[in-house]
Structure 1
Amino acid sequence: MKTLKTHNYYVYILTNKIKTVLYTGVTNDLEKRLYWHRNPETIDKSFTFRYKCFYLVYFEHFKDIDVAINREKQIKGWIRSKKESLINEFNPTWKFLNDEIK
């Protein structure tokens, strides 16, 4: 049994095919979350579906949900150029990482 707040959490950034839109999120199951971004239950209300943000270009792993949520909020507050710098350090070619998440 896992101890309270010591699970696996991920902060991630998605983009669209032409890399013009960035979306930041947090989840405890990155593979499943990527699936639901591409196949939302309510298509008309989904930002990622509307802007075709299905492509994973960045992620961080955390053991504590509070730390992960704070990091997500921090990244969401950044201007685009700062987010791009973060992605460039982690994934300089902006390769789509979806198939590497299993």
Structure 2
Amino acid sequence: MYLLRCINNSLYCGVSNDLDKRLRQHNGEIAGGAKYTRANGPCVLAYQEQVKDRSTALKRECEIKSMTRDEKLTLL
């Protein structure tokens, strides 16, 4: 689970098992990545959590997405 800080200072939350590759996708270096981050890139890794499995990662992603911006900034 990770949080990216985009060029417009927004935060983007996601899940990946290959974070380096995923960040390159988000920044448009290789195919893939979210449309939002490609449009608001470049993005830098601001926070990451390692969890035991994908299910746990998706639950944590949901928790973080429901946080306010201030709560996310406190997490960083």
Same fold, TM exceeding 0.5?
yes
* Range class of TM-score, shorter chain: 0.7 to 0.9
Report how many residues are paired.
75
Q: Is the 8 A contact 1:12 1:24 kept in 2?
A: yes
Unpaired runs of at least 5, structure 2: none
Query: Computing the radius of gyration over CA atoms, which structure comes out larger, 1 or 2?
Result: 1
In structure 1, runs of 5+ residues without a counterpart are 1-10, 88-102
Q: 1:85 to 1:53 in 2, by over 3 A?
A: farther
Cα RMSD, aligned residues only? 2.0
Percentage of identical aligned residues: 36
TM-score by length of 2: 0.86
What is the TM-score of this pair, normalised by structure 1? 0.66
Shift of 1:42: 6.8
Instruction: Give the conservation status (yes or no) of the 8 Å contact 2:3–2:47.
Output: yes
Contact 1:22 1:53 in 2 (8 A): no
Query: Which 4+ runs in 1 deviate beyond 3 A?
Result: 40-43
| Counterpart position of 1:16 | 6
